Amino acid sequence: MPLPLPLSILDLATVARGETVAQGLEATTTLAQRAEDWGFRRIWYAEHHNMGSIASAATSVLIAHVAARTERITLGSGGVMLPNHSPLQIAEQFGTLAELHPGRIELGLGRAPGTDQATVGALRRDPRASDRFPQDVQELQAFLGSTSLVPGVEAHPGRGTGVPLSILGSSLYGAQVAAALGLPYAFASHFAPEALEQAVALYRREFRPSEQLSAPHVLAGVNVIAADSDEEAEQVQREVQRSRVRLFTGRRGASLTDAEADAVLDSASGAQIRSMTRYTAVGTPDTVATYLDDFATRADADELIVTGPAPRRESWWRSWELLATKVQNAH
């Protein structure tokens, strides 16, 4: 069955166990090149800090690298954590990208720090910066437009590029900001599913048309684990859950055995870890396509943005290859 909605990719630029960072980034670049041929709409990269398994901390640098090695696919951030930066700096970075790759660059913005509290301090982040998030989004948008909100200050590069913005969130707050500013709203249901339906309903109800967007546009995040059989996909899903246990317990190495990770997952405390990836399509391509169709309806989404959480590179590649058969069918 063909997929009903456009599909985009959120690539966390993971470094698999046993890989170097360079090898992880090579896989990320190759995925973008293949995704372009497969027919995916866009790829986003997320700003995370102090996480050894994720190599997208310097988000704009990674986008520049991938954009130079692809030709058509849209690239952006999912997202840049704006309170970690000044709006002017982000306007200059993404304005530079837009001048180098016209029509291919977009900018998703989040309010969270994307890291732990110790790293927040190392980033020299003002703990109160998130309170200014709506105002900072407007300042950034103005820097990318024709009229700066800061007298005497322009973004060069940046001014006049009109890089399209999106708001990312996992709560009602992000939905309200996106609606008030008339911007697309991307909900992080791939790891924070609780408020999905309520937030999307609020966004659609309160949306105000803007120069960028005349009607609401919702992107919903969902994990995909595709394999040649349902049983194999379920086995990979268990590996994903074990990896998350190791991540949240700070024991990513071999010190936590599979049996110990399973014991955590099967306990009451493991229920929260399992619930974080509630929205995960697991199975053969047909099983995955059916799930994504149902999820799109539940999320009231205009577009799905999918992640590939398989921890082993071999199963990660196979999952994308199988999902791509459905993307091709959809075009």
pLDDT of residue 52: 87
Burial 288-316 (b: 16+ CB within 10 A, else e): bbebbbebbeebebbbbbbbbbbbebebb
Contacts of 56 (CB under 8 A, 6+ apart): 11, 12, 13, 28, 45, 46, 47, 48, 62
CA-based torsion, 90, 91, 92, 98: positive or negative: positive
Q: Are 144 and 159 in contact (CB under 8 A)?
A: yes
Residue 321 domain-assigned? no
Q: Are 221 and 295 in contact (CB under 8 A)?
A: no
Cα(329)–Cα(109) distance, integer angstroms: 31
Residue 169 domain-assigned? yes
**Number of C-beta neighbours around residue 205 at 10 A:** 10
At 148, which amino acid appears?
Answer: S
pLDDT in tens, 293-322: 999 999 999 999 999 999 999 999 999 999
pLDDT of residue 137: 98
Residue 75 domain-assigned? yes
Q: What are phi and psi of 318, to 5 degrees?
A: -65, -35
Structural domain boundaries, residue 143: 7-222+298-316
CA dist list (Å): 203 to 78, 135, 172, 306:
18, 18, 8, 21
- The pTM (predicted TM-score) of the whole model is 0.94
- Report DSSP state, residue 81: E
pLDDT of residue 129: 85
Tell me the H-state helices in the chain.
21-38, 59-68, 87-100, 117-122, 133-144, 172-181, 196-206, 230-249, 258-265, 270-276, 285-299, 313-330
The contacts found for 194-199 with CB under 8 angstroms, 24 or more apart, are 194/170, 195/170, 195/171, 196/220, 196/279, 196/298, 196/299, 197/298, 197/299, 197/300, 198/172, 199/169, 199/170, 199/171, 199/172, 199/174, 199/175
Q: Where residue 137 sits, what CATH number does that domain have? A: 3.20.20.30
Residue 290 domain-assigned? no
Residue 282 domain-assigned? no
Cα(11)–Cα(306) distance, integer angstroms: 8
Cα(289)–Cα(47) distance, integer angstroms: 29
**Number of C-beta neighbours around residue 40 at 10 A:** 24
Residue 24 domain-assigned? yes
Q: Are 324 and 31 in contact (CB under 8 A)?
A: no
Residue 162 domain-assigned? yes
CA-based torsion, 209, 212, 214, 219: positive or negative: negative
Report how many domains make up the chain. 1
Say if residue 134 is exposed, middle or buried (CB neighbours under 10 Å; 0-12, 13-18, 19+): middle
Cα(253)–Cα(256) distance, integer angstroms: 7
- Tens-of-pLDDT digits for all 331 residues of the chain? 557 688 999 999 999 989 999 999 999 999 999 999 999 999 999 999 998 899 999 999 999 999 999 999 999 999 999 999 999 999 999 999 999 999 999 999 999 876 777 888 888 777 788 899 999 999 999 999 999 999 999 999 999 999 999 999 999 999 999 999 999 999 999 999 999 999 999 999 999 999 999 999 999 999 999 999 999 999 999 999 988 888 777 644 457 788 888 888 888 878 888 888 899 999 999 999 999 999 999 999 999 999 999 999 999 999 999 999 998 655 4
Cα(329)–Cα(316) distance, integer angstroms: 21
Residue 18 domain-assigned? yes
